[in-house]
């Protein structure tokens, strides 16, 4: 027990120091990007070049607490781990009130008295967590929790403005504390752990749109002008929640908070930032904690976001209030709802949120947080506004918003990443593919396309030349036919081919018809251009080459001088020819493959009827036509597929953009909502503070609470009753969601 106590105390102190250090950190982006690595590595063990340094830091820290790294006994180790896990669970679930409590301590001389010692106790648990970190065996579970923890710390730091005094102090105390943070920064720049991939993505996202937007929002929030050491309270709250029982003595909380507050009072900017971060990140945190939150909190659901927001600004106002857990409960519910998704979500955001949330929750019944107000003040009916409990009048606007917001944030990260990548890729793809209009896609690049253009012209002029060539070639083509016999053999009977040759000879010669068809339908390039498919065909396949190829190849070299060059050209053209073209040439088909393929059925039949073609030739012609058309069809089909994919990609990008925009809008909305809650809270405080009993004494906020009735009236009811109602309302939404 003694050792445990000692560890707890020391742990609390350490944790407090860490929190203060975190508070010092100002740069949110940096913070976000850096995230967990250090702590995580510490916990998991050296995983990078920095590990050693980290480890040393940790050691130092531990030493500072009087625990020698080498002398860690199992009991202490496991105890610390258990405590840490408990604390974390509590933190995650409990959200808003913590901050409030701290505030109260400050303001109220009575409550404020409590102080540092309790906080130390809380820290103890946290310290245990640190010890655990050092521990050699860390399950995945722990690693996750640690991540969350580290993230939380970082978040806090990011939110909180630098407090030089605190920082130095903490550095001294922890020894390694600062280094750890630095390390985290370094890691963010260099280390990209697979484990942290999610977190990294989140970081990117945050740093990109969300983070900047948030940062801006935070700064803007300064409007409230409320000064509040948000970070500390939040942390503390989380810590306090580590305490087993939900019913924490207000005094204890106050005690805990007081020391922290005094030490780290930060400018209200921090509060706002903190709130913003909380609001954004709560969603993720909620997800993580779902199960635990449900267990821990019986209180009515509170809006995580609202609670978070309420924390900082409200603190001053809320001081008196010991509010209701109802708000907390609501938070827990929200978390539970999202929990399933949380696992899949990137860790970074969630982890950061977690700490915040817990802090709020810790606020306890106390008074704080807009959530509390909502839960406490409007439990019966208005309450709904705060959370799930929402009555008919105010149906959990926050809850719904929060839930969605969480989802959006999560998705936003993904989107940000995707947006960063996809647009470029998509644009490139579009340029590549869209520039080419469908069928003509390949034509320009492929040799066949060249041939096609040539073919079109050649075909037009070839009508006469080809006819003469064909007639002359008929006798000379025997060699050629033999050379192509192999191809022709494929799927075509060689026997018939030989027989058909003779018939084919007779067929050759009906030039007029042939030329006529050519002119009519396809010889004119302009016409081809008007016909997409034809154009495509012309560009994409080599059928048009046939005539010229045939001519050049089959014509006996008129001049021996240029025989060599012509042979080369013939070879080249032969290579350009398709198999069907070779077959057609071998079979002495009297018209070009282009015509065979592209002529309308009627014209095609007419063309065939004007020639005396053998069965083999007819069969080949039909096959050529079939294959040629199918080839174009295949190209079109592929192009359509590609276009479809590209369009889908574009649609996805558009949707992602819209989603990101909506998320930003939602964040803005939540901010405004938070401000409204704060106003309501302040009004509540004001009204409640003016209430006097028959003896002229003010009502104790711990015993009484204001509740809005459905008719708009405000009732002063015992807190127990208010809590019951809040719980009742909390269950309703749960059932509804089931």
Partner DNA sequence: TTCAATTGTCATTTG
Partner DNA sequence: TTCAAATGACAATTG
Binding region for DNA (CB under 7 A): 442, 445-446, 448, 491, 533, 540-541, 578-580, 600-601, 604, 623, 625-631, 633-638, 640-641
Which residue in this structure is represented by tokens 């012509």? 566
Burial class of residue 644, CB neighbours in 10 A (0-12, 13-18, 19+): exposed
CB of 542 to DNA, least distance (A): 7
Q: Nearer Cβ to DNA, position 169 or 629?
A: 629
Burial 418-441 (b: 16+ CB within 10 A, else e): bbeebeeeeeebeeebeebebbbb
CB of 563 to DNA, least distance (A): 26
CB of 485 to DNA, least distance (A): 15
Give Cα separations from 152 to 163, 235, 358, 538 (angstroms): 18, 9, 10, 65
Q: Nearer Cβ to DNA, position 442 or 606?
A: 442
Please give the DSSP secondary-structure letter assigned to residue 96. B
Helical spans, DSSP H, in 394-542 = 397-429, 447-489, 494-507, 511-517, 525-530, 532-540
CB of 618 to DNA, least distance (A): 12
Give Cα separations from 255 to 106, 107, 668 (angstroms): 10, 13, 35
Q: Nearer Cβ to DNA, position 347 or 584?
A: 584
Helical spans, DSSP H, in 599-614 = 601-609
**Bridge partners of residue 329, in order along the sequence:** 301
CB of 275 to DNA, least distance (A): 48
Q: Nearer Cβ to DNA, position 352 or 448?
A: 448
Burial 151-172 (b: 16+ CB within 10 A, else e): bbbbbbbbbbbbbeebbebbbe
What single string gives the DSSP state of each residue in 453-471?
HHHHHHHHHHHHHHHHHHH
Cβ-proximal residues to 328 (8 Å cutoff; 6+ apart), any chain: 93, 94, 95, 96, 97, 297, 299, 302, 307, 360, 361, 363, 364, 365, 371, 372, 375
- Beta-carbon neighbour count of residue 31 at 10 Å? 29
Q: Nearer Cβ to DNA, position 143 or 448?
A: 448
Q: Nearer Cβ to DNA, position 453 or 461?
A: 453
CB of 442 to DNA, least distance (A): 3
Q: Nearer Cβ to DNA, position 393 or 623?
A: 623
Give me 606's structure tokens.
Answer: 């007419």
Q: Nearer Cβ to DNA, position 5 or 575?
A: 575
- Beta-carbon neighbour count of residue 83 at 10 Å? 23
Q: What kind and span of H or E run contains 704?
A: strand 704-708
Maximal CA-CA distance, the chain: 130
CB of 554 to DNA, least distance (A): 21
Burial 593-621 (b: 16+ CB within 10 A, else e): bbbbbbbeeebbeebbebbbbbebbebbb
CB of 579 to DNA, least distance (A): 5
**Residue/partner pairs of 427-431 with CB below 8 Å, 24 or more apart:** 429/646, 429/649, 430/646, 430/650
Task: Return the CA Rg of the chain.
Answer: 39
CB of 490 to DNA, least distance (A): 7
Helical spans, DSSP H, in 345-368 = 347-362
Q: Nearer Cβ to DNA, position 541 or 674?
A: 541
CB of 466 to DNA, least distance (A): 21
The span from the CA of 649 to the CA of 170, in Å, is: 50
Select from 217, 225, 187, 227 the least CA-distant residue to 203: 187
The span from the CA of 342 to the CA of 500, in Å, is: 74
CB of 476 to DNA, least distance (A): 25
CB of 600 to DNA, least distance (A): 7
Q: What kind and span of H or E run contains 315?
A: helix 304-318
CB of 333 to DNA, least distance (A): 45
Q: 131, 72 in Cβ contact below 8 A?
A: yes
Q: Nearer Cβ to DNA, position 625 or 727?
A: 625
Helical spans, DSSP H, in 68-176 = 74-93, 97-107, 109-112, 116-134, 140-159, 164-174
User: E-assigned strands of 26-88?
Assistant: none
The span from the CA of 579 to the CA of 485, in Å, is: 11
Q: Nearer Cβ to DNA, position 90 or 624?
A: 624
Q: Nearer Cβ to DNA, position 232 or 492?
A: 492
The span from the CA of 735 to the CA of 337, in Å, is: 12
The span from the CA of 296 to the CA of 122, in Å, is: 17
Q: Nearer Cβ to DNA, position 57 or 448?
A: 448
CB of 580 to DNA, least distance (A): 5
Give Cα separations from 551 to 465, 498, 510, 588, 650 (angstroms): 8, 21, 17, 12, 48
Handedness of CA 208, 209, 214, 219 (dihedral sign): positive
CB of 450 to DNA, least distance (A): 12
Q: Nearer Cβ to DNA, position 511 or 636?
A: 636
Q: Nearer Cβ to DNA, position 5 or 626?
A: 626
CB of 571 to DNA, least distance (A): 13
CB of 549 to DNA, least distance (A): 14
Q: Nearer Cβ to DNA, position 216 or 641?
A: 641
Please state whether beta strands 704-708 and 714-718 pair in parallel, antiparallel, or not at all (unpaired).
antiparallel
CB of 159 to DNA, least distance (A): 45
Q: Nearer Cβ to DNA, position 177 or 488?
A: 488
Q: Nearer Cβ to DNA, position 446 or 453?
A: 446
Q: 99, 315 in Cβ contact below 8 A?
A: yes
């Amino acid at each position: 027990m003694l050792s445990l106590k000692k560890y707890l105390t020391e742990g609390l102190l350490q944790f407090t120091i860490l929190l203060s250090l975190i508070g010092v950190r100002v740069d949110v982006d940096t913070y976000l990007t850096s995230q967990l690595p250090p702590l995580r590595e510490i916990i998991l063990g050296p995983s990078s070049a920095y590990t050693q340094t980290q480890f040393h830091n940790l050691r130092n820290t531990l030493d500072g607490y009087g625990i020698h790294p080498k002398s860690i006994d199992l009991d202490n180790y496991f105890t610390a781990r258990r405590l840490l896990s408990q604390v974390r669970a509590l933190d995650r679930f409990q959200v808003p009130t913590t901050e409030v409590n701290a505030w109260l301590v400050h303001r109220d001389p009575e409550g404020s008295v409590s102080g540092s010692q309790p906080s130390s106790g809380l820290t103890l648990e946290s310290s245990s967590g640190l010890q655990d970190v050092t521990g050699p065996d860390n399950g995945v579970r722990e690693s996750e929790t640690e991540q969350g923890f580290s993230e939380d710390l970082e978040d806090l730091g990011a939110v909180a403005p630098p407090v030089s005094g605190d920082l130095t102090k903490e550095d001294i105390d922890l020894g390694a504390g600062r280094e750890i943070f630095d390390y985290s920064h370094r890691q963010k720049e260099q280390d990209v752990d697979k484990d942290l991939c999610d977190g990294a993505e989140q970081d990117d996202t945050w740093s990109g749109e969300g983070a900047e937007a948030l940062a801006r929002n935070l700064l803007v929030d300064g409007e409230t002008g409320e000064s509040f050491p948000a970070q500390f309270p939040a942390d503390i709250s989380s810590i306090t929640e580590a305490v087993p029982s939900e019913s924490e003595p207000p005094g204890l909380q106050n005690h805990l908070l007081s020391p922290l507050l005094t030490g780290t009072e930060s400018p209200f900017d921090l509060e706002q930032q903190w709130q913003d971060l909380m609001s954004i990140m709560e969603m993720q945190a909620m997800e993580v904690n779902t199960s635990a939150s449900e267990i821990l909190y019986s209180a009515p659901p509170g809006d995580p976001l609202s609670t978070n927001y309420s924390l900082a600004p409200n603190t001053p106002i809320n001081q008196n209030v010991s509010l209701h857990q109802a708000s907390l409960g609501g938070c827990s519910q929200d978390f539970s709802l999202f929990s399933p998704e949380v696992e899949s979500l990137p860790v970074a955001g969630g982890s950061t949120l977690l700490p915040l949330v817990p802090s709020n929750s810790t606020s306890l019944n106390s008074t704080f947080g807009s959530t509390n107000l909502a839960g406490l003040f409007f439990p019966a009916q208005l309450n709904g506004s705060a959370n799930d409990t929402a009555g008919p009048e105010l149906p959990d606007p926050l809850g719904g918003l929060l839930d969605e917001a969480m989802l959006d944030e999560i998705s936003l990260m993904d989107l940000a990443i995707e947006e960063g990548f996809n647009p470029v890729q998509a644009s490139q793809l579009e340029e590549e593919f869209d520039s080419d209009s469908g069928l003509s896609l390949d034509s320009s690049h492929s040799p066949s396309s060249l041939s096609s253009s040539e073919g079109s012209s050649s075909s037009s002029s070839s009508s006469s030349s080809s006819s003469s060539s064909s007639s002359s070639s008929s006798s000379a083509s025997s060699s050629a036919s033999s050379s192509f016999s192999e191809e022709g053999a494929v799927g075509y009977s060689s026997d018939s081919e030989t027989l058909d040759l003779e018939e084919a000879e007779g067929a050759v010669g009906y030039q007029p018809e042939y030329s006529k068809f050519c002119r009519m339908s396809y010889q004119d390039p302009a016409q081809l251009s008007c016909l997409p498919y034809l154009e495509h065909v012309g560009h994409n396949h080599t059928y048009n080459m046939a005539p010229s190829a045939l001519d050049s190849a089959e014509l006996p070299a008129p001049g021996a001088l240029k025989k060599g060059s012509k042979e080369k050209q013939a070879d080249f053209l032969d290579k350009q020819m398709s198999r069907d073209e070779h077959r057609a040439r071998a079979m002495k088909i009297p018209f070009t493959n282009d015509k065979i393929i592209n002529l309308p059925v009627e014209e095609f039949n007419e063309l065939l009827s004007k020639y005396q073609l053998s069965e083999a030739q007819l069969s080949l012609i039909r096959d050529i036509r079939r294959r040629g058309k199918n080839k174009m069809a295949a190209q079109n089909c592929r192009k359509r597929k590609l276009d479809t994919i590209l369009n889908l990609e574009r649609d996805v990008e558009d949707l992602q953009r819209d989603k990101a925009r909506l998320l930003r809008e939602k964040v803005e909305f939540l901010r405004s909502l938070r401000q409204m809650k704060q106003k309501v809270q302040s009004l509540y405080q004001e009204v409640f503070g003016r209430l006097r009993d028959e003896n002229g004494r003010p009502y104790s906020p711990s015993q009484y609470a204001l509740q809005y009735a459905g008719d708009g009236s405000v009732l002063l009811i015992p807190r127990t009753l208010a809590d019951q109602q809040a719980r009742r309302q909390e269950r309703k939404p749960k059932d509804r969601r089931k």
